[in-house]
């Protein structure tokens, strides 16, 4: 393994840990599904901006780890898939130096998250309960977009530090 690959792998681990911490600690419960609203999505966007497609692995692992530690075993695999897909969408649509396109990328990625959890929860709890979770998931998505855009301003500086 080259030095650059080791650094990238280490950064992936750090980003997975950051996603986990920001998902696990500051959370607001959602009684309808027993889930919670958190700030981890902003770190998913940071991972996508810093790591490219490898950010999807950090997003999936960090988010799923939060479900594992938090006792949300039913959500473990859906979270892994949904958050990984969210990061891939954000990375694919994100454009460095273009704030508006980045904001749109993050909004589309959060739409993937809301739709993914709606589909899973509709099967698990029924459509009415899944619809009840759309609002809290959208609020979480909005928080993720805001945190992600705040991180967007830091990315050039972080990339220069990483190199």
Q: What is the pLDDT of residues 7-31, one digit of tens each?
A: 999 999 999 999 999 999 988 887 8
pLDDT at 113: 98
pLDDT at 97: 93
pLDDT at 26: 84
Give 109: exposed, middle or buried? Use CB within 10 Å, 0-12, 13-18, 19+. Answer: buried
Beta carbons within 8 Å of 34's beta carbon, 6+ residues apart: 72
Q: CA-to-CA distance for 162 and 142, rounded, in angstroms?
A: 28
Q: What is the pLDDT of residues 63-101, one digit of tens each?
A: 999 999 999 999 999 999 999 999 999 999 999 999 999
Q: Give the model's confidence band at 42: pLDDT under 50 very low, under 70 low, under 90 confident, else very high.
A: very high
Mean pLDDT of 103-109: 98
Residue 37 phi, psi dihedral angles, 5° rounding: -100, 140
């Amino acid at each position: 393994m080259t030095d650059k690959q080791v650094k990238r792998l280490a950064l992936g681990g750090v980003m997975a840990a950051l996603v986990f911490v920001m998902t696990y600690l500051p959370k607001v419960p959602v009684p309808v599904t027993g889930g919670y609203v958190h700030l981890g999505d902003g770190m998913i966007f940071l991972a996508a901006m810093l790591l490219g497609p490898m950010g999807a692995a950090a997003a999936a692992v960090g988010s799923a780890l939060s479900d594992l530690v938090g006792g949300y075993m039913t959500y473990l695999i859906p979270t892994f898939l949904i958050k990984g897909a969210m990061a891939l969408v954000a990375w694919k649509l994100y454009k460095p130096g273009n704030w508006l396109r980045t904001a749109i990328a993050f909004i589309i990625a959060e739409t993937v998250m809301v739709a993914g959890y709606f589909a899973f929860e509709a099967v698990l709890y029924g459509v009415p309960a899944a619809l009840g979770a759309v609002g809290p998931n959208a609020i979480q998505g909005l928080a993720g977009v805001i945190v992600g855009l705040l991180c967007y301003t830091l990315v050039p500086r972080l990339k220069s530090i990483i190199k």
